[in-house]
Amino acid sequence: MKKLSLLLVDNDSTHTNDLKKILTALGHDDIEITDNANDAWSLMRIKDFDCVISAWEMPDMTGIALLRITRNDDNLHFMPFFLTHPAFTKVKVIQAGQAGATGLMVKPFELKNVEQKIKTLEKIKIQADISAAESSFEEGMRLIERNDYESALTVFEELTQRGETAEVYYNIGYIKTSQGEYEEAIVAFRKATQLDRLFAKAFEAMGRAYKELGMNEEAQEYLQKAADIYIGREKMQDAEAVLNEILQISPDSVNVFNSLGVLYRRRGDLKTSLNHYQKALKVHPDEPHIHYNIGRLYFEMKLPDKARTCFNKALELDPDFNEAKEVLNAIEIGSI
């Protein structure tokens, strides 16, 4: 539960002291008290409160008058505002609703009733925070579209203070990349991937940032992670684009050929898949998993003898390769 900053307004100190004790018992100790609406309005202009709880009846300015002023202020329009009274008549309930009261509290205060109102307030606060964050995020995206990177960066950095999300850090990384600050971009992209381990776009962007720094080994590592995630999510076009990008960095990358083999096999393009697996095999002829993958491919191509040869080779290279053992046994007994 997040502690709330509260302003209590009542000319009767007995009621404010009782309410303060209850609120403190509920874990909220950031409480300001004033005995009149004019001073309350001054405090509201200089401090950010989460809520105002004001008596209806007060000399000079009533609580409902303070509420109406609050609702007419652009900065305080959405401030949660409760009115208190010993006995709310039907007329008062209607007036409070028309003025925009968040809720009503009956005096003398009871713990259970106050606790219920505070829980309502906490829900309102959470929803308001979410709405404000969403609005800020949208504003940041608009600023990026206008290439106003400095203003967008300010928005997204402020958002990290409200709560960490992968998308926010990704956009910070994007801005830093656009500004040529690749090391800072990598820090942001890494944070994004820590918050979302399957954030392919962030791994992809991090790989490109490393590429710009001339760190090709790291570039391949993170681009490969992005490609693997894309393949796992059946986003084959994105995966292929990233894998071809890796080939531009390292034309003999065995992981890329193997991944392309998987990609094209899933697409049903068995001939192209075989071509990539064979390229991988030229780079690493003693890798049992490549032989195994080619064996599976031959089996799908209705070439069981070639498939058996590949599975046997995989098992020869790795006698503990259980998958190869199982498929060979299945072939022998005719279950596949």
Residue of higher predicted confidence among 255 and 322:
322
Per residue in 188-205, pLDDT (tens digit) is 999 999 999 999 999 999
Instruction: Count other C-beta atoms under 10 Å from residue 58's C-beta.
Output: 21
For the segment 163-191, the average pLDDT, to the nearest whole number, is 93
- Long-range interactions of 162-167: CB distance < 8 A, separation 24+: 162/129, 162/132, 162/133, 163/129, 163/133, 164/191, 164/195, 165/195, 166/192, 166/193, 166/195, 166/196, 166/199, 166/202, 167/137, 167/192
Mean of the per-residue pLDDT values for the chain? 90
Element (H, E) at 220: helix 216-232
pLDDT at 259: 86
Per residue in 268-285, pLDDT (tens digit) is 899 999 998 998 888 889
Q: For domain 180-251, give the CATH number.
A: 1.25.40.10
Domain ranges for the chain: 6-109, 180-251, 252-335
Per residue in 34-77, pLDDT (tens digit) is 999 999 999 999 998 989 999 999 998 999 999 999 999 988 88
pLDDT at 82: 96
Q: Which of 36-45, 251-260, 283-292, 295-304 shows the lowest mean pLDDT across its residues? A: 251-260
pLDDT at 132: 65
Q: Could you tell me the fold of the domain covering 252-335? A: 1.25.40
Chain length of the chain: 336
For the segment 160-177, the average pLDDT, to the nearest whole number, is 90
Closest CA to 132 of 212, 75, 70: 75
pLDDT surpasses 90 at 121: no
**Domain 180-251 shares a fold with domain 252-335:** yes
Give residue 104's pLDDT band: very low, low, confident or very high (50, 70, 90): very high
Domain 6-109 architecture: 3-Layer(aba) Sandwich (3.40)
For the segment 279-296, the average pLDDT, to the nearest whole number, is 90
